Amino acid sequence: MQQSRVMSTVFLGVLLTIGCGSSKSQDASATTKSADQTNAPMQLAEAPTTAQPASHAGAASITGTVKFQGTAPSAEKMKMDADPACAQQHTTPVYSEEVVVNANNTLKNVFVYVKSGANGPFTTTTSPVTLTQSGCWYTPHVFGIQANQPLEIVNNDATLHNINAKPTTNQPFNIAQPVKGMKSTKKFTTPEMAIKFKCNVHPWMHAYGHVLAHSFFSVSGEDGSFTIAGLPAGTYVVEAWHEKYGSQTQTVTVADGEKKSVEFSFKAP
């Protein structure tokens, strides 16, 4: 009973925060609706590793691996007991995705993108990027999206979530999804790196979105690899971003139809 009162208090507090906590108006183009509420099995899906080619796309590609050097930090176990609706969905522990070192000593969740050298104008991808809340966890943890491309945010949990996005160039928003199956659609209009998403109800939940003018980006997966495809011939500055270890850049030149391989390496402090 006491736990129910606590969760009710949190629910009310979040709704008050959402309604009164920001002086900035929300994006007028945003929509919220209920999605299909079928009970699909909960799983932590992987982020797409390769985006769709932008306009003026060519046949060249940049592939590679993000290596990790040093001793991998111990992963923090997430404590979800404060909300039984979260804890009961997991039969095994859930660990922080801040630093994920793969079995082959590579890093997962590194955002790799063309920082400069890509010339527009670019065609915006119309299919949405989906940010899912399942098991009180954001999936994907790191993702890329084009400016003005739809972002669909879906609640697959039978508990309240709020999505609190804090960009500095784009319009921030803080919206509630109290019902399983709710879906909200947002757009970012201006390129901006490392926009943090968090849930005030479940403070262990966070994700990062990167907004680009083009779609030449990738996210390293469970083997640390990435691929940026559809590039025209040219010279590009490619950056690898990690939420804890910072960023690195390399200059890469590719000929028409060439596949160039590069390697990034991050060291533990």
| Beta-sheet pairing, 161-165 with 173-177 | antiparallel
Does residue 250 sit within a domain? Answer: yes
Does residue 114 sit within a domain? Answer: yes
How many domains, the chain? 1
pLDDT band at residue 269 under the 50/70/90 scheme = confident
pLDDT band at residue 56 under the 50/70/90 scheme = low
Nearest to 184 by CA among 150, 209, 208, 157: 150
Between the two ends of the chain, the Cα-to-Cα distance in Å is 45
CATH number of residue 153's parent domain: 2.60.40.420
Does residue 116 sit within a domain? Answer: yes
Q: Is this structure's pTM higher than 0.85?
A: no
Q: Please determine, for residue 41, whether its predicted confidence score (pLDDT) is greater than 60.
A: no
Does residue 16 sit within a domain? Answer: no
Mean pLDDT of the chain: 85
Does residue 7 sit within a domain? Answer: no
Q: How many residues are there in the chain?
A: 269
Least confident among 78-87, 178-187, 255-264? 78-87
For 4, what's the count of Cα atoms within 13 Å in the CB-facing half-sphere? 1
